[in-house]
Amino acid sequence: MTITLLMTGRLLRRGLIGLASLLLAILLFEMVIPPVADSLGGTDGLEALIRTLPPSIQALTRTRPEFIAVSGLAGYLSTGFTHPLYITLTSAALVTFTARGLAGEMERGTIQLALARSVSRPRVYLSRVLGLVIVVTALSVAGMVGLLLGMAIARPAGTLVWWHLLTTISVCWLLFWAIGGLALCGSAAADTTSRAVGWATTGIVIFYVIDYLATIWSLIEPLGFISLFDYYDPADALVNGRIPLDHALVLALAGLAGVAGGYTVFTRRDLPT
Amino acid sequence: MTAHLSDAAAIETSDLRKRYGPLTALEGLDLVVPRGTVFGFLGPNGAGKTTTIRLLLGFIRPSAGSARIFGLDTWSEGVAARRALGYLVPPEALYLDMSGDDQLDYAARLSGTPPVLRDRFLDALELGRGPLRRRLGTFSKGMRQKLALVMACQGDPELLILDEPTDGLDPLIQRAFESLLRERHRAGRTIFMSSHDLAEVERTCQRVAVVRAGHLVVQDAVADLLRLRRRTVDVRIDDAGAGAILALPNATRLSREAGRLRAAIDGDLNPLLRILALHDISDLSIESPTLEDAFMAFYEPAAAGPGPNGTAGVALTALPPASDGTTGLGSELGDDDVFTREVVTTAGGPR
């Protein structure tokens, strides 16, 4: 286990600056959300503002004016976790971390440092999975820390159930785990960083587009279940403190399937020249 | 470290093959590296050297056949096989964000063996402690190569696999490293190294194997290859003597002018020396062969002209069993398949 942790530590330290930058960006982004609430006139102002937006733009933020009206401050704050920028920042962190961890190390040859010694491929892979768990947790917590800082600074009107924050962290964690697991699988199969990044980014965009189109286009709606984002509902988590069991299972299993697939590929494949 | 190892050869491959789709990188390699030898692994670019090394390290999976290190399969028992192994990673495969010290510590911890030879190698390769505190990103290519060498050797592994070990090193450091290799050899370690520097191989290795286009061309003791190869004899001798020399089955006439004969002699010199002893000679020179001379014929796909005495190619020339009675060129090419292939593909004889 010591060797596994040693490799995980090396992997995290190597990308520390980039990861820290993205975590800071996520924190700052979420920190901005609470102050904006009051500047827009509280829940009523937000509802009115969102009502002015066309449905296609509302779908981008994954919210509805009537939902804001009912859910109040918590409903508004949850939009920070479905905002395209938040999804982009967290995805970037996951994709770069997973791509660097396997495909990048195979491309540069640094993985040979471990594999030329008495370190097994499963152990190398486990170190990457441990790293992924740490990054997923850091991403989930960073957004919430930012939100809490923003709340402390702006003190917006409205109520928030504090333990619902934990539920929201959990639903974020599950989505990131699912994305990260699948991205790790791609990284295990790819020969180069750029290919791993390309595959993972394409997958995330496809999931996002399917989810978006399913919201605004009845023809696509039946296909919504294909997308991981269909099972990601931070609004429900923050407002009601609820994560539907089937949603949690789908996200958890998607991540597990990605990790298992990556394991199968990585332990059997040839390293690229 | 040696206690758990079996008595098997340090490296043994059997009908080892590697294909990448339609491309054949390695075709039926049978290689034996006895324990305690310094073994040179030679061949032109693209011959299959790196593929072989990657198979030995378990980086890639054989398409067929097997590779064993101390009797352990390098794919299915790779972790145990690599326990006794030190490998020279390419300098570009080092973590450039780490300091030299941290890199050495990291490698030692991954190996799980104490770096008992670190200081010895650092001193011999003149890698100062000061630079080791710097990030590798600031290192020159030569310094990275030295660090990679220290990483490979610091745990005193039973078997060292070195791919182009002195690439990027200046000549003095190169000699210092060769001295370290001889030291490890005296300590009973096995060293398997690929190199394009044939002079280095000649100075360092006891045995060599040459691969070309994925096939094993020759595997033998360096001394035997040198003994077998063609020498150029330049002698001022009377006509009777010249005639006797040219009548030797291993002699080829190069020129005969003004009482001077230049002839190529393949392999054994004793018949020539016996003739020279019977005749008056006023001048004599016999060019010492180098390993480079011996191997250029193996490197070149089609050397100019037929081989001596009408032989078809390099693989057919001068093939008595090796002096140690083990793996002479003839015995290695006893496999008809390989033998035929080499003869067919090698149009000319040695130079």
Size of interface A-B (CB pairs under 8 A): 71
For range B184-204, the mean pLDDT:
89
Per-residue pLDDT tens over the stretch A155-194: 887 788 889 999 999 999 999 999 999 999 999 999 999 9
**Residue A21's closest CA among A133, A127, A96?**
A96
Q: Looking at the partner chain, which of A3, A14, A270 has a beta carbon nearest the beta carbon of B110? A: A3
Residue A106 CA to residue B50 CA, distance in Å, equals 16
Mean of the per-residue pLDDT values for chain A? 91
Strands B207-212 and B215-221: antiparallel
Q: What is the pLDDT, as a whole number, of residue A22?
A: 96
Rounded to two decimals, the ipTM of the complex is: 0.85
What are the chain B neighbours of A127 within 8 Å (beta carbons)? none
Q: Which domain holds residue A188?
A: 2-35+83-268
A130 part of a folded domain: yes
Least Cα separation, residue B75 to chain A (angstroms): 10
Per-residue pLDDT tens over the stretch B277-293: 999 888 999 887 666 66
Per-residue pLDDT tens over the stretch B36-95: 999 999 888 888 999 999 999 999 999 999 999 999 999 999 999 999 999 999 999 999
Q: What is the pLDDT, as a whole number, of residue B309?
A: 33
Helix A121-154 to helix A84-99 angle, to the nearest 10 degrees? 150
Using CA coordinates, name the residue in chain B closest to A1: B110
Whether B112 has its CB under 8 Å from any CB of chain A: the answer is: yes
Q: Cβ contacts of residue B189 below 8 Å, gap of 6+?
A: B36, B156, B157, B158, B159, B160
Residue B220 CA to residue A126 CA, distance in Å, equals 43
Number of independent structural domains in chain A: 1
pLDDT category at A41 given cuts 50, 70, 90 is: confident
**Residue A258's closest CA among A142, A195, A173, A177?**
A177
What are the chain B neighbours of A117 within 8 Å (beta carbons)? 82, 85, 87, 107, 110-112
pLDDT category at B299 given cuts 50, 70, 90 is: low
Q: Tokens 């989810």 sit at which residue?
A: A211
Work out the number of other CB atoms within 10 angstroms of the CB of residue B292: 13
Phi, psi of B296, rounded to the nearest 5 degrees: -60, -35
Mean of the per-residue pLDDT values for chain B? 81
Q: What is the pLDDT, as a whole number, of residue A187?
A: 97
Contact B106 A6 (CB under 8 A): yes
Q: Looking at the partner chain, which of A116, A268, A273 has a beta carbon nearest the beta carbon of B57? A: A116
pLDDT category at B294 given cuts 50, 70, 90 is: low
What are the chain B neighbours of A7 within 8 Å (beta carbons)? 110
The DSSP code sequence of B80-109 is HHHTTEEE---GGGS-TTSBHHHHHHHHHH
pLDDT category at B198 given cuts 50, 70, 90 is: confident
Residue B5 has pLDDT above 60, yes or no: no
Q: Do A234 and A90 contact (CB within 8 A), yes or no?
A: no
What are the percentages of helix, strand and coil residues in chain A, rounded to 5? 85, 0, 15
What are the chain A neighbours of B59 within 8 Å (beta carbons)? 112, 115-116, 270-271
A110 part of a folded domain: yes
A17 part of a folded domain: yes
Which tokens belong to B319? 């093939």
Work out the number of other CB atoms within 10 angstroms of the CB of residue A13: 14
Q: What is the Cα A69 distance to its own chain's centre?
A: 27
Q: What is the pLDDT, as a whole number, of residue B338?
A: 30
Q: In chain B, pLDDT over 70 holds for what percent of residues?
A: 79
Q: Where are the alpha helices (DSSP H) in chain B?
A: 49-56, 78-82, 100-111, 118-124, 129-132, 141-153, 171-186, 198-204, 222-228, 239-246, 270-278, 291-299, 329-332, 336-345
Work out the number of other CB atoms within 10 angstroms of the CB of residue B120: 16
pLDDT category at B322 given cuts 50, 70, 90 is: very low
Least Cα separation, residue A113 to chain B (angstroms): 7
The contacts found for A119-126 with CB under 8 angstroms, 24 or more apart, are A119/A3, A119/A7, A119/B79, A119/B110, A120/B78, A120/B79, A121/A266, A121/A267, A122/A263, A122/A267, A123/A3, A123/A4, A123/A7, A124/A7, A124/A266, A125/A188, A125/A262, A125/A263, A125/A266, A125/A267, A126/A4
Residue B300 has pLDDT above 80, yes or no: no
Phi, psi of A180, rounded to the nearest 5 degrees: -65, -40
Residue A263 CA to residue B84 CA, distance in Å, equals 26
Phi, psi of B135, rounded to the nearest 5 degrees: -70, 150
Work out the number of other CB atoms within 10 angstroms of the CB of residue B313: 20
Q: Do A268 and B61 contact (CB within 8 A), yes or no?
A: yes
The DSSP code sequence of B163-197 is ESTTTT--HHHHHHHHHHHHHHHHTT-EEEEE-S-
What are the chain A neighbours of B83 within 8 Å (beta carbons)? 118
What are the chain A neighbours of B80 within 8 Å (beta carbons)? 118
Fold of the CATH domain B2-84+158-224: Rossmann fold (3.40.50)
Q: Strand order in B251-257's β-sheet? A: B251-257, B260-266, B230-237, B281-286
Domain with CATH 3.40.50.300 in chain B: 2-84+158-224
Q: Which residues of A48-79 are buried (b: 16+ CB within 10 A; e: fewer)?
A: eebeeeeeeebbbebbbbebbbebbbbbbbbb
A51 part of a folded domain: no
What are the chain A neighbours of B50 within 8 Å (beta carbons)? 273
Q: What is the pLDDT, as a whole number, of residue B328?
A: 34
Residue A270 CA to residue B54 CA, distance in Å, equals 9
Domain with CATH 3.30.70 in chain B: 230-286
Could you give the C-alpha distances from B120 to B116, B155, B168, in angstroms and in order? Answer: 8, 11, 20
- Residue B181: Cβ-neighbour burial (10 angstroms; 0-12, 13-18, 19+): buried
Q: What is the pLDDT, as a whole number, of residue B156?
A: 94
Secondary structure letter of residue A6 according to DSSP? H
Across A210-224, B178-192, B311-325, which has the greatest mean pLDDT?
Answer: B178-192
Q: What is the pLDDT, as a whole number, of residue B45?
A: 84
Could you give the C-alpha distances from B205 to A91, B37, B56, B308, in angstroms and in order? Answer: 53, 8, 19, 28
Using CA coordinates, name the residue in chain A closest to B104: A113
Q: Do A227 and A207 contact (CB within 8 A), yes or no?
A: yes
Q: Do B232 and B81 contact (CB within 8 A), yes or no?
A: no
Q: What is the pLDDT, as a whole number, of residue A123?
A: 96
Whether B172 has its CB under 8 Å from any CB of chain A: the answer is: no
Fold of the CATH domain B230-286: Alpha-Beta Plaits (3.30.70)
Per-residue pLDDT tens over the stretch A101-139: 999 999 999 999 999 998 999 999 999 999 999 999 999
Chain A residues in contact with chain B using a Cβ-Cβ cutoff of 8 Å: 2-3, 6-7, 10, 13-14, 108-110, 112-120, 268, 270-271, 273
